[in-house]
Amino acid sequence: MNTPKRADVILKGIPLSPGLAEGRICRVRSVPFQKTGGGGAASDPAGEEERFSRARERALEELKALEEATRQTLGSDKAAIFQAHQWMAQDPLLVDGVASGIREGQSAEDALVETTLALKAQFEALSDPYFRERAADILDVGQRLHRILTGSEDLSRLPEEDCLLAVEELAPSDAALLGTKKGVRGVLTAEGGPTSHFAILLKSLELPGISGLPLRDDLFVPGETALCDGETGEVVVSPSEETRSRFRDRMEQQERTRSRLKAGIDAPARTRDGHSVGLWGNIASPHDASGVLDAGGTGVGLFRTEFLFMGRTTPPDEEEQFQAYREALTALAPFPVTIRTLDAGGDKEVPYVKGLVGEEANPFLGLRALRVCLQHPDLFRTQLRALVRASAHGNLRVMLPLVSSLWEVRQARTLLEEVRAECRDQGHPTAERIPLGIMVEVPSAAILADRLAREVDFFSVGTNDLIQYTLAVDRQNPRLLSWYDPFHPAVLRLLALTAQGARAAGVEVGMCGEMAGDRLALPLLVALGYDDLSMSSARIPWVKETLLRLDRPSCQALWEEVQGMESGSAIRDRLAAFQEATGE
């Protein structure tokens, strides 16, 4: 008896990145990284050593290609990890360890697993936090070599035709690789949250993404067609012709919308009644600057400088930082570029900084961001000198992360002024004025907004952390996603308090967290008087289209209405109804 072909298997996950995609399921999985006890070396140790040597050569070729491709698409900062992995693949501790295991009668695979795990354990046991962090990189390199030896699947060999990548989770090197793969139309994962760095990367690449999916073999069959809706988090596996036809109609509409948005990128970003809002881009390297302009952005609200520090044993020196900042400022001139000082710690692991800070029981509440810079002024001064020197080449704004007290701002400003005077004495040209602002991302900063506004030139709300700290919710934990709510009444009150404090002191107030690119939130941000919203460049045209349909009196009336609501879900429903009524 033949089993009838299944159709329209609908699965619901967590939306990571918006968009629609159709493709065949590309199920990527690896052979378990464990010893099997398989033979081979005992009878032919020379052959096993030769296999391992060829695997290393192949791994180095892959890593060099990945380094170059990533440098071209995502910048040198993200490419650095692949350079570090090349060094590790050639490290005598690894190479000699595997050779020794083979000579003792193990297969190349088993010798590699044993050596890698032994090295990983040794590094994890070291007292130096930086070297402890290298354990994850050693495992990444070992797994790459193991994949080559076993012939298992990997992202570098994904098909060029349309595919939906289905993978349990991604290593840092895998996530960066997505930017170089033209055949990937969407990503389906078991792990990951909407404010994770992986989700942010997907948005910047304009790839739909969904997490929290049960990637069982009976549900995700390689080669089977699936539909991905990154807006709703819905996946349809083996869609019927009728479902597929309706979905393709939606995809065609999506493309028409994109074409329409592209045609309107030069339109002023303002409401129907003439209220202007700056729509800016978030970038992680100078290479991203052109994407902001291409999307119709009129500035950068967040340059994440921590990416310059990642994947390296020492921090970038003054000259390297100066070149990066100058490149971004020159590319965007005369538009403003807001460069955030080093924001390391929490979910932004920078090995060098980890070595300075040491192990902490709770890194999110520990020595991170501005706290590290103030405790290590030499590190901070180097960055400030590079920023001050770069200020002569464009419209620079310097932004301090994780401010919680007035004294932090005053101390940072003192250092900035000292460095500026020092650079001028040494003959470096600098801007006449360098605006200094802060990120509002902890409740204390929002509560003290009226006082802090007297000390700075602008505010930018980092909603990802503000929501996390206000609601005591780890935004990286997928089990807590129902508690992580941008529309929670407490969060909205803090947004209002911040805007009021800024207005009273006459300073600009903006937003650079993920909420800035959420069209559902836009009417409330207009009502509260946010001057600029900074987001993934790909989101700028979409937010602009929504902005053009709004008028400020209606937005203010909506804000008055939602203030009386008691839950984020009720507020969200009201915002959705408002969006529908305005023609979305």
Judge whether 512 counts as a catalytic residue. Answer: yes
> 3 burial class (0-12, 13-18, 19+ CB within 10 angstroms)?
exposed
* Token reading at 469: 């700290």
Q: What is the DSSP letter of 75?
A: -
Q: Tell me which amino acid residue 129 is.
A: P
Whether the CB-CB separation of 24 and 164 falls below 8 Å is answered with yes
How distant, in Å, are the alpha carbons of 171, 181, 283, 527 from that of 65? 17, 12, 24, 49
State the CB neighbour count (10 A cutoff) for residue 553: 12
* Token reading at 349: 């692991």
Active-site pick, 197, 275, 376, 428: 197
> 171 burial class (0-12, 13-18, 19+ CB within 10 angstroms)?
middle
Phi, psi (rounded to 5 degrees) for 501: -65, -40
Query: Do you find a cis peptide bond into 222, omega within 30 degrees of 0?
Result: no
Whether the CB-CB separation of 354 and 386 falls below 8 Å is answered with no
DSSP reduced 3-state for 507: coil
Judge whether 197 counts as a catalytic residue. Answer: yes
Cα–Cα nearest to 347, from 477, 233, 162: 477
Cα–Cα distance between 365 and 336 in angstroms, integer? Answer: 31
* Token reading at 105: 């009668």
How distant, in Å, are the alpha carbons of 134, 143, 150, 174, 352 from that of 120? 8, 12, 21, 20, 19
State the CB neighbour count (10 A cutoff) for residue 140: 18
Cα–Cα nearest to 437, from 371, 368, 349, 338: 338
Whether the CB-CB separation of 360 and 344 falls below 8 Å is answered with no
State the CB neighbour count (10 A cutoff) for residue 249: 10
Q: How far apart are the first and last CA of the chain?
A: 49
Active-site pick, 26, 163, 373, 512: 512
Q: What angle is formed at CA 291 by the lines to CA 285 and CA 293, rounded to 5 degrees?
A: 115
Cα–Cα distance between 418 and 400 in angstroms, integer? Answer: 17
Looking up tokens 């008087």 gives: 529
Cα–Cα distance between 383 and 379 in angstroms, integer? Answer: 7
* Token reading at 257: 């919308």
> 124 burial class (0-12, 13-18, 19+ CB within 10 angstroms)?
middle
Question: Length of the chain, please?
Answer: 584
**Packing angle, helices 552-562 and 568-581, rounded to 10:** 160
Q: Which helix (H) or strand (E) holds 581?
A: helix 568-581
State the CB neighbour count (10 A cutoff) for residue 201: 23
Whether the CB-CB separation of 482 and 504 falls below 8 Å is answered with no
Cα–Cα distance between 527 and 128 in angstroms, integer? Answer: 50
Catalytic machinery residues:
197, 512
